[in-house]
Amino acid sequence: MSVSPPRPKGPPLNALRAFEAAARLGGFANAAEELCVTPGAVSQHIRALEDWIGADLFERRSQGVRLTALGAEALPGFATAFDAMGAAVHGLRNAARHGTLHIAALPSVAQLWLSPRLPAVRAALPDLRVSVSTIETPPNLARDLFDLSLFIRPPTGARGERVLAQDMILPVCAPEVATRLRGPADLAGETLLHDALWPEDWALWARAVLPGTRLPTNGPRYSLYAIALEEARHGAGVLMGHQSLVQSALEDGSLIAPFAAPVPTGKALVLEHPAFDPPRADLAQVLKLLAGQVTG
């Protein structure tokens, strides 16, 4: 007889991570996006976990999934555990004097707001390597290995969050196009440029400035805001400008804001860092540099 019988095996860590993400985010697709896997992989992980415990954690319905009573009861403990693991990993990297600062940013913010400000960061911190990843959805800084994120999104008031500028929108265009615009109503006869990420911008602005007016919606659409901005510079039409992203073009005169009518979107340009202990010294200096360079 063996004096060292095999110990019972627990569920795989990936299955626990898939359950926690799906439960916290309200679905397998959202969990898959955060974990960078397919929804099918999340489903398989969770099914394996359910087989291991012998009970369902989610109710599968045609319109999606919903936590069972057992799943809802288990979620807080796993959320706390994975938050603690994320904090420990960040702490390990910081203690090892990790020399790279990882920034996650919305593509338009990275190209139009962050990029012009990086030379000042390099000048102040020549030994720091800066890595920028452009993604469409803000990362979970308690879990993802980013040191900083920059997104235009609704502020939450969370610890570690700094609002750099309220998100204000207003039409912008090339100077030659602006000469044709005597009032907001003249936009009905112009080509309006649309950004795929913010398809509601024109309607939002029109409700505030031209109530009861429907502006054309058949203009060109762009998946990258920076391309839409370049097209506006080249006279292709009128773009709904996000003030923090078009400010430099307005200042150098390559774009004109023909109407003094900025409209708030309810969002903001938000700078965020992981809300653990006070940020390490180089991150704290980068935060100070970026927050001090806000224009618009």
pLDDT of 32 above 60? yes
The dihedral formed by the CA atoms of 101, 107, 111 and 116, expressed in degrees to the nearest 10: -40
pLDDT of residue 37: 94
CATH of 13-93, one of 1.10.10.10, 3.40.50.1100, 3.40.50.300, 3.40.50.2000: 1.10.10.10
Does domain 167-266 bear CATH number 2.60.40.420? no
pLDDT one-digit tens code per residue, 151-167: 999 999 888 899 999 99
pLDDT one-digit tens code per residue, 201-232: 999 999 999 998 889 889 999 999 999 999 99
Mean pLDDT over residues 190-208, rounded? 96
Distance CA 124, CA 287 (A): 12
Per-residue tokens: 291: 């927050």
Give ranges for CATH 3.40.190.10 in the chain: 100-163+268-291, 167-266
Q: Is 204 within 8 Å of 210 (Cβ atoms)?
A: no
Distance CA 94, CA 284 (A): 13
Q: Could you tell me which residues are beta bridge partners of residue 162?
A: 271
pLDDT of residue 1: 52
Distance CA 246, CA 6 (A): 64
pLDDT of 170 above 50? yes
104-118, 131-145, 255-269: least confident range = 131-145
Burial class of residue 174 in the structure, from the number of CB atoms within 10 Å of its CB (0-12 exposed, 13-18 middle, 19+ buried): buried
Count of CB atoms situated within 10 Å of the CB of 93: 15
The class (CATH top level) of 100-163+268-291 is alpha beta
pLDDT band at 86 (very low <50, low <70, confident <90, very high): confident
